[in-house]
Amino acid sequence: MDAKEIAAQLARELHYLDMPIGVYVVATDGQFIACNRLVRDMLALPLDGDVHASLAQFYADANTRGELLRKAAEAEARGSFLQKEIIHLRVAARDLYVEDYCKPLRDPATRAIVGYIGCLVDITIEYEAQKREGQLQNKVEELTFDIGRILHANTSTLLMAQQTLDSVAEALSQRALKEVIGTPLEDLDEQLIKEAEQLAGTLDKLIQGSDASRRAQALPEAKWDALATKIAPLRQVREMVPGFEMRVPALRTAAHQVTVTCHAMTTGALPRELVKEVLRAAAQLENTACLADVLMSRMAIVQMDATLRSLRDFVTADIRTHEPKKRLSVKLLVEQTITQMAEFARTSRVDIHRKERDFDVGVEGIERDVTRALANLLHNAIKYSWRRDRYKSPWVTVRAFARDGIACIEFENWGVPIAQEEIDNGLIFQLGYRGKWSKDRGRLGTGIGLTDAKRTAEANRGSLHVASRPANPGWVRPDDRDYYNQPFITTVTFCLPESAEVRR
Partner 1 sequence: MNKRPSVLWIEDSARFELRNLVGPLFFSGKYDFSLAEDVTSALYQLRVKEYDSVIVDIRLPPGIDPEWRKHYQQTGFDKVHAQLGLKLLYWMLSKDASIHPDAPPEWIKPCRVGVFTVESRGEIQQHLDTLGIKIFRQKSAGLRDTTLLELIDEILAQAQAENPAPL
Summarize as ranges the residues that interact with partner 1 (CB under 8 A). Answer: 229-230, 232-234, 240-243, 245-246, 248-254, 257, 432-434, 436, 439, 441-442, 481, 484
Helix (H) or strand (E) holding 412: strand 406-415
Among candidate residues 5, 100, 9, 96, the one with its CA nearest the CA of residue 44: 96
Task: List Cα–Cα distances, 390 to 229, 295, 393, 472, in angstroms.
Answer: 33, 19, 8, 18
- As measured in angstroms, the least distance from the Cβ of 233 to partner 1 is 5
Q: Is 409 helix (H, G, I), strand (E, B) or coil?
A: strand
Query: Helix, strand, coil shares of the chain as percentages rounded to 5?
Result: 55, 20, 25
- As measured in angstroms, the least distance from the Cβ of 197 to partner 1 is 15
- As measured in angstroms, the least distance from the Cβ of 229 to partner 1 is 4
Residue 148 or 249 having the CB closest to partner 1: 249
Residue 233 or 271 having the CB closest to partner 1: 233
- As measured in angstroms, the least distance from the Cβ of 421 to partner 1 is 11
Residue 331 or 434 having the CB closest to partner 1: 434
Residue 364 or 452 having the CB closest to partner 1: 452
- As measured in angstroms, the least distance from the Cβ of 417 to partner 1 is 11
DSSP E strands in 17-61: the ranges are 22-27, 32-35
Residue 33 or 448 having the CB closest to partner 1: 448
Contact 196, 287 (CB under 8 A): no
Task: Determine how β-strand 395-403 pairs with β-strand 351-354.
Answer: parallel
- As measured in angstroms, the least distance from the Cβ of 250 to partner 1 is 4
Which residues are CB-contacts of 380 (< 8 A; sequence separation ≥ 6)?
411, 413, 445, 449, 450, 492
Residue 4 or 434 having the CB closest to partner 1: 434
- As measured in angstroms, the least distance from the Cβ of 188 to partner 1 is 16
Residue 264 or 319 having the CB closest to partner 1: 264
Taking the alpha carbons of 15, 17, 18, 22 in that order, is the dihedral positive or negative?
Answer: positive
By residue count, the chain amounts to 504
Residue 257 or 393 having the CB closest to partner 1: 257
- As measured in angstroms, the least distance from the Cβ of 424 to partner 1 is 16
The Cβ-side half-sphere exposure at 216, using a 13 Å CA radius, reads 3
Q: What are phi and psi of 114, to 5 degrees?
A: -115, -10
- The DSSP result for 76-103, as a single string, is HHTT--EEEEEEEEEETTEEEEEEEEEE
